[in-house]
Amino acid sequence: MEKSLADVIEAGADRVLTSGGEQKVEDGIPTVARLVQAANQRIAVMVGAGITESNVHRIVTETGVREIHASLRARVPSPTQYRNQKISMGSSKGHEYERAIVLEDAVRRLLDSARDGQ
């Protein structure tokens, strides 16, 4: 992964999103920590994949990352007035008349947990 990181830096990117090569970033903590050290502040290493309030502090503390990517959204009914039940609107069959919103309280709690570990 360190070679790939060097290639990304050389290509001019200023940020890389990673889970440390694992399905969930918690399982990739050692790799992410090595990437952060190898990056040596030449590029931001952002972690994602399975970040929650309960694990974010450990991930940030053990890897040294300063940026996280998390999905903190909920589906709510769409305000759409006309609905044609005979057709599907794109690839989200069954969710055409919903929209995703960011949960502000969840963002605050995640940031508090990242900072304070609570």
Instruction: Find the CATH number of the domain harbouring 61.
Output: 3.20.20.380
- The total domain count for the chain is 1
Taking residues 2-27, what's their average pLDDT? 93
Please give the residue range of the domain that contains residue 28.
Answer: 2-116
Q: Read off the pLDDT of residues 43-92 as tens digits, 9 standing for 90 and up.
A: 999 999 999 999 999 999 999 999 999 989 888 888 877 877 777 766 66
**Mean pLDDT taken over the chain:** 89
Our measurement of the distance from residue 112's CA atom to the centroid of its chain's CA atoms, rounded to an integer in Å, reads: 16
Separation CA 60–CA 63 (nearest Å)? 5
Taking residues 22-51, what's their average pLDDT? 96
CA angle 17, 109, 53 (to 5 degrees): 60
The predicted model scores a pTM of: 0.81
Which secondary structure element, helix H or strand E, spans residue 106, and what is its range?
helix 104-116
